[in-house]
Structure 1
């Protein structure tokens, strides 16, 4: 529970609102700094295409989903806009999107979550251009002749912008904001050179993330082409199928998804690729945190902690920290660079069976019990090659997901993961794949540094122009 004493004038300023929203977010303090700032200011709508109409959302409408890419447009929900990888997005009907073009978003638009968890935002990068997006995401469309989109994004995402955006939330259960709540927000006008520099850094950040995903996709394609794997296998867990399996296999597992046709097809493809050794036989290990009481503390005395959902975000920024004194040996819980972080639980078709490459940002961090740490650094196989096979090919994904067990919340076990057989390419080819994955991780880490630098630059300029109290 948070308690704060406020002056009565604040109630008058906010139209006698008695809910906590406008007063507990830091918005009043941020607005005072902006108001007192000596920089010239304009309202947000003055920098948008079509002024007040430059902030909008798609509006409510039932969605028509399709399965084939030729009939659909990738659809981003409010969670997807902050994710690093957009490869597994659902597809909404092209026909529906053509009837309602408000669904689409384009490069250099500022996207802000407007319901539920409000105020998460991103600047649409190249790989998002033309995607459809949920009505729970507000589109803010900068006019590039009046403001650099990257600068506007930096300001809105800064420690001044976010409190102002979220201060107008309303709703007792599921909170919302509307476009008319943000179009009158004050926006400081900084030096043109600084504005362009911030935009340049944010553009580079977006380019890095797009290139990082392209490299991961290329790594998967190299494996698919080498072994003649199909790019996509049918999502058999969502359709009715039947198959026959040998009695010896049924004695090991009796759940239908383990023996369905697509699972058997993935087995045949792996066998045809000449896979002989299991991951365990290749020297691959796994690490699990195990179930324990989580004791959280301040960041200065703790270890960064992320859940299985948070590891997939474009920005690695843990909000909780585990007490070091309760964790024991770092080898038992710590993430190492080049670990493969595998989401082990959730509904099939969601994040379970997918994972991320642990770049330098994850070093010595902690992850929840719902993440398996796959470690191949001291094995016979290069970690990047193993990652590309498991996470960037559909055959690898099907091999992982078929072993999910549990009637309510399916989960994967380390033992089942280590029993998987790995198809091998030549030494030089595996190294090339490994280096693509390494480079992708470096670009993702650099992207966050560039974004942080740009936002800090804008914050410093505003603070420098504000009178010291």
Structure 2
């Protein structure tokens, strides 16, 4: 529970400034305290005066009936509030192209340089930056788009301010509602944006832009590595798997059923054909590859709340797929070593439901900056025990649609699904020639170096902005 600071109490004039708003959000979020701080700056201007485009450049869009398709020729990628935080946009749902390009929805297409703000639900108030690879993506009505006017402000600088602790407080202070939180576009139109001159703002902008380009490169290199994986193994058709264009598994017979499983999903024809295709090329079973490493779920343990100075962030299945994962801080003294990931561990979200847009059976690679986190027991740890088959090579396979469909077919459980302990060890993994393997591994590693460097540059931009504000207010 948040309370007002005794050193900075809520005063009656604050209530008048907020139109006698009586809910606690704007007073304990720090929004008014930040506004008072920014009032001491030489120059601030309202956000709405720096934008242009539909509805003045700050807009969300109408509610509409969504028709999802799977054929890329007749659909466009569609970004929701959870997806806007994601590092990998490969698996976005796809909206019918005819609807997207209609007069009612065409302006929802993202433009690089936009700042995106989630406007409803648990994640209301989170911010993201529209990367170059988002130019063909449409965003839902649950995302406020802030389109800067390039003649008045640089997009990277504006995003850095909205992402900073100052922007965080101002945006969060605009949230209203009880059970379901909301932000409306007009609530943030008057946010004060500090101006520091072209030199400072350009430096911050360039850092953000370089960070964004590296994140787009991260995405492109991972996609290239996965395509290279299947091409090098003689399975090019699996790099563009059209799962939903195949005949549905409405009825089938199984000749031999043992004690391992009686569940129809584990014998579904589409998945069996996919597994058989993977078996036609040289490879090894996943259990064999991980014999000297790990192929199991994480350990359960007691969580003890802590702070950032004395603890570690515990990342769950949803947040692990974000650009910058968030999680609760837990004490290191009671945290077993097994919850940390070894370098180049493939972590598979191993509990969940079978919804098409759920993270269940999606994978991430723990390497670089991601090694500082602790991971919940809900991840399946895939750690190679074979030196010449590194985790980066395995990840090029596990991030693919083919691997996702194979893992989903191995589900067991009721409401919450898990991946069958025996069947997962039998997954066939194609093994390319050494030169191809090395190239694929190098591409994945390069992608994650880009991602880590992008985080460093973004942090540097935020540090410069914070320093400029603090110096200006004395």
Normalising by structure 1, we get a TM-score of 0.93
Between 1:109-118 and 1:282-291, the stretch displaced more is 282-291
- Contact 1:47–1:142, Cα closer than 8 Å, also in 2: yes
Distance in 2 of aligned mates of 1:186 and 1:233 = 48
Distance 2:55 2:226 in 1: 44
The residue that corresponds to 1:3 in the other structure is 3
Supply the distance in 2 between the matched residues of 1:148 and 1:287 (Cα, whole angstroms): 48
Q: 1:450 to 1:437 in 2, by over 3 A?
A: same
State the distance in 1 between where 2:324 and 2:421 align.
27
- Name which of structure 1's ranges 399-408 and 138-147 shifts more when overlaid on structure 2: 399-408
Could you list the per-position Cα deviations for residues 287-331 of structure 1 after superposition, in whole angstroms to 9, with x for gaps in the alignment? 543223211211111122110111100113x34222111124x2x
1:236 CA displacement: 9.1
TM superposition shift of 1:281: 4.9
Partner of residue 438, structure 2: 431
SS state at 1:252 partner? coil
Task: Answer whether contact 1:294 1:322 (CA < 8 A) is retained.
Answer: yes
1:119 is paired with a residue of what secondary structure?
coil
Contact 1:285–1:376 under 8 Å retained in 2: yes
Q: Secondary structure at the match of 2:413?
A: coil
| Count of residues in correspondence between the two structures | 461
Equivalent position SS for 2:418: coil
Moved more, 348-357 or 49-58: 49-58
Question: Does structure 1 residue 181 correspond to structure 2 residue 187?
Answer: yes
Secondary structure at 2:283 match in 1: coil
Change (3 A) 1:368 1:70: same
Name the counterpart of 2:377: 369
Distance 1:209 1:238, change over 3 A: farther
CA-CA distance at 1:96 after TM superposition = 0.5
SS in 2 for 1:326: coil
Pairing partner for 1:402 from 397, 409, 413: 409
Aligned ranges for residues 149-160 of structure 1 at < 5 Å? Answer: 149-160=155-166
The equivalent residue for 1:357 is: 365
SS in 2 for 1:405: strand
Specify the SS of the correspondent of 1:411: strand
Residue 318 of structure 2 is aligned with which of 309, 329, 337?
309
**Corresponding residue for residue 45 of structure 1:** 48
Q: Which residue of 1 aligns with 2:16?
A: 12
For structure 1, the residue ranges without an aligned partner over 5 or more in a row are none
The one of 331, 335, 344 aligned to 1:327: 335
Q: Does residue 86 in structure 1 map to residue 89 in structure 2?
A: yes
Contact between 1:105 and 1:129, CA under 8 Å: does it hold in 2? yes
List per-residue Cα deviations over 1:223-280 (Å, max 9, x = no partner): 22232242214149995522332314x5422211111111111121112113344433
Tell me, yes or no, if the aligned pair for 2:31 and 2:173 is still in contact at 8 Å: yes
Alignment partner of 1:31: what SS? helix
Root mean square deviation, CA, Å: 2.0
Counterpart contact for 2:249–2:270, Cα < 8 Å: no
Moved more, 409-418 or 394-403: 409-418
Task: Say which is worse superposed, 87-96 or 219-228, in terms of deviation.
Answer: 219-228
Deviates further, 111-120 or 318-327 = 318-327
Contact 1:114–1:178 (Cα < 8 Å) also in 2: yes
1:204 deviates by 1.0
* Contact kept in structure 1, 2:125 and 2:175, CA below 8 Å: no
Instruction: Give the secondary-structure state (helix, strand or coil) at the position aligned to 1:372.
Output: strand
Q: Which deviates further from its counterpart, 266-275 or 449-458?
A: 266-275
More divergent stretch after superposition (239-248 vs 431-440):
239-248
Per the TM alignment, residue 136 of structure 1 is displaced from its structure 2 partner at its CA by 0.5
1:194-233 residue CA offsets vs partner (Å, 9 max, x unmatched): 1111111111111111111111111111122232242214
**C-alpha separation in 2, matches of 1:434 and 1:46:** 48
| Range with greater deviation from structure 2 (104-113 or 269-278) | 269-278
Match of 2:205 in 1: 199
**Alignment correspondent of 1:264:** 272
Matched, 1:244 2:250: no
Cα distance change, pair 185–238 in 1 and its aligned pair in 2 (3 A) = farther
Could you state the TM-score of these two structures normalised by the residue count of structure 2? Answer: 0.92
Local SS of the residue matching 1:422? strand
**Which segments of 5 or more consecutive residues in structure 2 lack a partner in the other structure?**
none
Shift of 1:464: 0.6
1:33 corresponds in structure 2 to: 37
Secondary structure, counterpart of 2:176 in structure 1:
coil
Residues 209 and 443 in structure 1, CA contact (< 8 A), matched pair in contact too? yes
Residues 288 and 333 in structure 1, CA contact (< 8 A), matched pair in contact too: no
Q: State how far apart, in whole Å, the 2-side matches of 1:163 and 1:276 are.
A: 52
Matched, 1:255 2:263: yes
Contact residue 298 and residue 321 of structure 1 kept, 8 A: yes
Query: Aligned with 2:229: secondary structure?
Result: helix
Structure 2 CA distance for partners of 1:83 and 1:175, relative to 1, 3 Å: same
Q: Which residue of 2 aligns with 1:464?
A: 471
Checking the alignment, whether the CA contact within 8 Å between 2:70 and 2:244 is kept in structure 1 is no
Counterparts in 2 of 1:7 and 1:401: CA distance versus 1, 3 Å: same
In structure 1, what is the equivalent of residue 78 of structure 2?
Answer: 75
